[in-house]
Amino acid sequence: MGTHTVLVRHNFETAHRLPHLAGKCFNLHGHSWWMEATVSAPSLTGGTVVEFGDLKRRVRDWIDTHLDHGAMLGAADPLACLLLDHKSKVFRFGAGDPDPAERFAEDLAYPTVEAVAELLARVVGDALGSLDHSPGAFVSRVSVRETHVNAAEFKEFP
């Protein structure tokens, strides 16, 4: 039995910091992140898995609103409060008091590339769930690249 897939890509500029790890990622630094999300379905409805334009628009709008040109930080990171106090754009991972967007990362403590892949899989899944799509459609894979040589994937299995 075959599977149909669609792929959505987007890039964004965001800083992050991993103070719980040794090494240079302890420092606040930025990347040009690239995300690829694959949505799969066992069959098509109306010739599609999901309408590309709507899915792309929702995912890209979410990323641009909450992540692009901001900082992704663990809620426990002292820089999170400091930057928020100075009106900087901050997306908190592991927040005990998440805002509506941060709920997708409530159980993810720090913005590692692996955690960002899982976060974006949840975001794409939420967008998919709000759109007309083929029965059984699901987010099968999200790949996030933080540099040309560092990437992580999150895969979902039906």
Q: Give the pLDDT of the chain (158 residues) as one tens digit per residue.
A: 679 999 999 999 999 999 999 899 999 999 999 999 999 999 999 999 999 999 999 999 999 999 999 999 999 999 999 999 999 999 999 999 999 999 999 999 999 999 999 999 999 999 999 999 999 999 999 999 999 999 999 998 77
Return the closest-CA partner of residue 127 out of 56, 65, 64, 40: 56
Output the pLDDT for position 157: 78
Structure tokens at 70: 């901001």
Q: Is beta strand 138-145 parallel, antiparallel or unpaired with respect to 151-155? A: antiparallel
d(CA 134, CA 142): 19
Contacts of residue 148, defined as CB under 8 A and 6 or more positions apart, other chains included, come to none
